[in-house]
Amino acid sequence: MFEPTNPEHSLVDALTEEIHKFEGPELVYWVHKTPQEIDAATEDATPGGDSYLDDLDEVYGEKSSGDAKLEFFEPIMVYGKVDVEPIIQELMRLGLIKTEQLDLYVNIAHAHEKLERPPNGGDVFRITFLIRDVDGELKEKLVYYKVSNCHPVDLYNYQYVNYQINGEQTNMMDVPDEIKNYFTDNEF
C-alpha cells in the first residue's frame, strides 16, 4: 500500500533523487500554462478581456485553432534518469523512424516540489548531451522533447515513487520562440 507520508518513502525519495543527480544529464523543464491560468492572467491584465478559448474551442474543450501557441512558465532544473531504448536508436539509424523517443524517470516528490503539479502532455524539457567532436573536444548538444504522457512507475521496486515521462523529440520549428530565446536572453 502506498503511503506518501511514510518515513521510509522519504528515505527512498532522497536516495532516488541523489541517484538521478549523479547519473542524469542536465535537464531543464518548461511547464505549460493551462487555459485557466492564461485566462486568469488576461483577466488581471485587462479586466473583461477576451478568453483564451473561443466558441468553437469551448465545444471541443481545448484550443482547436492553430493561431494560439502554448505559453510556458519559467524553466526549472530537474533531476532524472534518461532511458533511450536501443531498438529506437537502431530504427532511427536505419531511417525507419524520424522522431527520437525516450523515457525520463523523475522522482514523484521531486517533481511535485519543483513543478508544483504532475508532468502533463505538452510540457517541454531539454536535455544537454555532451558529444565529442572529431577534434576530441566536448560540445554541448541541446535536444528538446515534448511530453507525450506520464504515469507513475515502479523503477527501483520502491512502490511507485517515480514518474515515467515519455518524450518525443521536438522539431526546432515547433519549439516555442520563448523557449528557444530564453538562454540567449537570460543566464540560467
Neighbouring C-beta atoms of residue 182, cutoff 10 Å: 17
- H/E stretch holding 19: helix 7-23
State the architecture of 7-32+71-185 in CATH terms: Beta Barrel (2.40)
Q: Return the sign of the alpha-carbon dihedral for residues 179, 184, 185, 188.
A: positive
Q: Are strands 138-153 and 124-132 parallel, antiparallel or unpaired?
A: antiparallel
> pLDDT tens digit string along 132-160?
888 888 888 888 899 989 988 876 665 66
Q: Let me know: does 179 contact 185? Beta carbons within 8 Å.
A: no
What would the mean pLDDT of 115-141 be, rounded to a whole number?
86
Inter-residue long-range contacts of 41-45, CB under 8 Å, 24+ positions, other chains counted: none
> pLDDT tens digit string along 57-116?
666 666 555 545 577 888 899 999 888 877 777 777 787 776 778 889 998 888 888 988
Q: Let me know: does 103 contact 165? Beta carbons within 8 Å.
A: yes
- Helix boundaries (H) for 27-180: 35-45, 55-60, 86-94, 108-115, 177-180
Q: Which three cell numbers stand for residue 43?
A: 483577466
Ranges for all domains in the chain classified under CATH 2.40.10: 7-32+71-185
Q: How many CA atoms lie within 13 A of 120 on its CB side?
A: 10
> pLDDT tens digit string along 35-59?
677 666 655 544 555 555 566 666 6
Q: Which three cell numbers stand for residue 89?
A: 536508436
pTM (2 decimals)?
Answer: 0.73
